[in-house]
Structure 1
Amino acid sequence: MWSWWNLLLCEALLPIVVTSTQLLSKVGDSVLLVAECPPGFQVREAIWRSLWPSEELLATFFRGSLETLYHSRFLGRVQIHSNFSLELGPLETGDSGNFSVLMVDTGGQPWTQTLQLKVYDAVPKPTVQVFTAASGNAQAPNTCQVFLSCWTPNNSDITYSWRREGTMDFDVDLHSLLTDKQVLSISLGLGDEDVAYSCIASNPVSWDIATVIPWESCHHEAAPGMASYKDVLLVAVPVSLLLILAGLFGAWHYGPCSGKRKDACTDSMATETENPLV
């Protein structure tokens, strides 16, 4: 314990050369915090600490012994190597923070290195929804205006981009991208029946992709000059209903035993029964 306090006192009183490094990783992975020192620097003692969000002792090298038996949020997930580098993992969401290693050489000269670790969640597979615009007189025949909306459950530090499959590069019009590139507006024609569009969701350490064929949502099956299925339904359904109602009315009105003709029907049937044909 006395030596650790000596190390901290050296850090406070002696001139120290400090280097800083930024590291990126994702949840579930391991990360190696590499201890770097000048050429010829013979490490006699070293101490690793977490500086933020809380200050904690993580590991030490003292009198040739590597120690990691300290209670911290990395308990059971930290290992110090023979080259004084520190391995953390598997990483969790709250492991982002600042770390430092203080090393002292055999001549008593200290050296401090700070590292900033940023841990990201792995990007989940995005979901792409297709919305078709209402047809209007201004829309060209046999075209379909669609909006592709891309979404992921985890929006932290995620960026979106779009690609038209089958091409090396998809240069979209900036006016076609909406809501921080999460929505893409495109116009499709008859030659786009099998064209697929992909949304790529990414953060600094991972990415995932989802692909759709938007023409499948356009319902442009009808050939030019032919009525669409909506037009057919608008005519066929009312006509069918009228025919059914007319048939029911006729059966009720002209049936042999309906309404006022019930008695006559009964008398006729009795007569036929009393006078069978010879």
Structure 2
Amino acid sequence: MGCSVCLWLVVSFCRVWGMGRGTRETVLGTLGKATVLWIPQEFQDLTQRFGVAVWKRDTEDPHSKDVLLKYLDGNYTNYNPSQNRFHSSNFSLEILSTKRQDQRLYEYITSKDTEEKVWQIQLEVYEPVSDPDIQVLSWALANDSCTVTLNCTAARGDNVSYSWAGLEASTSSPCAHNGSLLHLSYHLNATSLACACTASNPVSSSAVTFNSSACSFEQRGSARPGPNLVLAVAVPIAVVLIFVGVFTAIHTGQLRKHAPFAEDSEVHTIYSQVQRVEKQKIPCSPPGTEHPSCTTIYAAATGLPPDTAQAPGRIRHSPRAEPPTPQGRSPLSQSPDAEPTTVYASVTLPMI
């Protein structure tokens, strides 16, 4: 009873791993590229002897399979020629453009009468690794030594692993490390120190080099700081600029509010002194005139108004004459190059 159970378990285990029907191998496929499913020479010889072969693929349903191709005595039928290509010279199957859904278990079966041979291929699909990028997370200078923390990352790729190594291929190199992060410390005079980061997965790999001179004073700005350092520098500068802008706007508004309105200096009207005087000994007009009474005289002037103390009659403008200054008032002024103005001269009324 116990031996029967053990034998049944062994047979079941062999069937699960394909040992009961054939041998399984793993093939790595690159996403978007062609993948060839090869069969060993033994199965090629059996196919030529039997003359019958079938390519199949597992589906999501464990009880069904997709038939991809049938071969019979030198002729074959490809059921999906847009995706697969059959090579009759070695009976291999080529997937033209590998997709993620192609990651399945494939079977190549050749048989004759009651004899059947199965070759199983497990296809694993990977996206290739893109070029990695090295970012300086932190750095510090102390005692002529530079200490940096580097992070190596690749933007694309499946199951990516990272490793660091020195270009001098020495096992004692400070660059030797497995993982994306590298804590590196070296003397500033070690200008020849260079570390290479390699990003790889089962189907591809790519490398990039970090030069130790990136920590020197001359090239300190060439190393890309981490996001925390950028924020620590950019945020205070932005706050200061905002405060300066607000203060300037408020101060400018106050100056405009209290500033007097500009006066129009193009045209000015100047009014001279008007006063009532006593009876004049000299008549207001020379004898023989038709109008003996005093009149108001209007004079056109381009400078200051005439002196009101002149004798009545026609007044000629003198450029050097200055108007009288009434008590309690400031004298009126006018720029020499101002436009012509109207001046009202003195008016003297006669005594009755």
1:104 paired residue number: 111
Shift of 1:121: 1.1
Q: Which amino acid aligns with 1:48?
A: W
Distance 1:57 1:81, change over 3 A: same
Within-5 A mapping of 1:182-261: 182-219=180-217
Q: Which amino acid aligns with 2:50?
A: V
Percentage identity across paired residues of the two chains = 23
Query: What SS class does the counterpart of residue 192 from structure 1 fall into?
Result: coil
2:145 paired residue number: 143
**Contact 2:126–2:157 (8 Å) recurs in 1:** no
Within-5 A mapping of 1:25-64: 25-36=29-40, 37=42, 41=46, 42-53=49-60, 55-64=65-74
TM-score, with normalisation over the residues of structure 2? Answer: 0.49
Shift of 1:94: 3.2
**Aligned pair partner of 1:65 in 72, 75, 80:** 75
Q: Which amino acid aligns with 1:130?
A: V
The answer on 1:22 being equivalent to 2:22 is: no
Instruction: Give the root-mean-square deviation of aligned CA atoms.
Output: 2.9
Within-5 A mapping of 1:172-187: 181-187=179-185
Q: Which amino acid aligns with 1:69?
A: Y
Query: What SS class does the counterpart of residue 118 from structure 1 fall into?
Result: strand
Q: Which has the higher contact order (CA 8 A, sep 6+)?
A: 1
TM-score, with normalisation over the residues of structure 1? Answer: 0.61
**Contact 2:163–2:198 (8 Å) recurs in 1:** yes
| Alignment partners' CA distance in 2, 1:187 and 1:27 | 39
1:169 paired residue number: 170
Shift of 1:21: 1.1
Distance 1:164 1:86, change over 3 A: same
Q: How many residues align?
A: 195
Query: What SS class does the counterpart of residue 149 from structure 2 fall into?
Result: strand
Query: What SS class does the counterpart of residue 189 from structure 2 fall into?
Result: helix
Shift of 1:50: 1.1
Instruction: Give structure 1 stretches of 5+ with no counterpart.
Output: 1-14, 222-278
| Alignment partners' CA distance in 2, 1:60 and 1:39 | 15
Distance 1:143 1:218, change over 3 A: same
Shift of 1:84: 2.1
Q: Which amino acid aligns with 1:168?
A: A
Distance 1:16 1:47, change over 3 A: farther
Normalized per residue, the structure richer in helix is 1
Bigger Cα displacement from structure 2, 148-157 vs 126-135: 126-135
1:275 paired residue number: none
**Contact 1:188–1:215 (8 Å) recurs in 2:** no
| Alignment partners' CA distance in 1, 2:182 and 2:155 | 19
Deviations 1:141-186 (A, max 9, x none): 1111101110011352111111222x12344679x85xx6100001
| Alignment partners' CA distance in 2, 1:56 and 1:126 | 39
Query: What SS class does the counterpart of residue 97 from structure 2 fall into?
Result: coil
| Alignment partners' CA distance in 1, 2:59 and 2:212 | 47
